[in-house]
Amino acid sequence: MSNTLKFDSAIEAGSVDEFLLTQIDPERLPSHIAIIMDGNGRWAARRNQPRVAGHRAGAEAVRATVEAAAQLGISFLTLYAFSTENWKRPRLEVDALMGLLREFLRKEIRSLKRNNIRFQTIGRDQGLENAVSREIDRARRETGANTGMVLTVALNYSGRSEIVEACRELARECLIPGRDPSQISELDIEQHLFTKCLPDPDLLVRTSGEMRVSNFLLWQIAYSEIYVTDVLWPDFRRVNLFEAILEYQKRERRYGDVKPAARSSLIAANMK
């Protein structure tokens, strides 16, 4: 049975989307996709529009990507929405971003429920407006029982701060008699990260062509496959997600090891 059926009538017969979907191996989907959504400002500038217009257009890309990922069968999708450094932007832009987030959550609750998506956030709650926090809590509460894709929004997030906070918590635990700091493992650190209930991303997507990770999931992307596209985030759609997944499926993930064939050759050579 073709995985096109998962999209019902949403994909037009003979379209590029349908062609790409037929090329995707449903048995080798990335379990967790993380996306750095970049290019809203440039999208607006190219149209002589204010940056806020780019952010609003970016919300449409979020909607399309979330729905496509859920219907495709992706288990975890994490979106980088607002970093701790973004507070340095003009107040008008920050207020507009927060307003768009509230609007998106209010409007998309029904869609999240329909697609069986569970919503959560990672990052610091401190500093967020009360109205934003209320919408986030509502979205978490109303989708908490959903069993499909987990949609995580990184909000007021910093990868370095996340690691620092994990180390601080471990340091406090080491004050407990009987806890030996020399026994701290990578697993201990992972269990104190914001993402302790998430697997590491298999695929990290960055839009707008920028070749950097921007303080996003620094611990978690150690072995993620990275895919960079020149497409600006407001223009990112289902077809671009399919392209990223197809590129991911072309790669061989070795986690620092060598190919099985190469490993066998090395072993044989060492035995001579």
Active site residues: 38, 86
In whole angstroms, what is the distance from residue 41 CA to residue 214 CA?
16
Asked whether the beta carbons of 210 and 42 are under 8 A apart, the reply is no
In whole angstroms, what is the distance from residue 29 CA to residue 19 CA?
17
Alpha helices in the chain (DSSP H): 16-23, 40-45, 51-72, 91-114, 130-143, 159-173, 186-190, 238-250, 260-271
In whole angstroms, what is the distance from residue 173 CA to residue 157 CA?
24
Residue-wise DSSP of 174-202: TTSTT--GGG--HHHHHTTSTTTTSPPPS
In whole angstroms, what is the distance from residue 66 CA to residue 41 CA?
21
How many CA atoms lie within 13 Å of 147's alpha carbon, on the beta-carbon side? 0
Q: Is 162 exposed, middle or buried (0-12, 13-18, 19+ CB in 10 A)?
A: buried
In whole angstroms, what is the distance from residue 111 CA to residue 105 CA?
10
Asked whether the beta carbons of 85 and 160 are under 8 A apart, the reply is no
Element containing residue 79 per DSSP (H, E): strand 76-83
Length of the chain, please?
Answer: 272
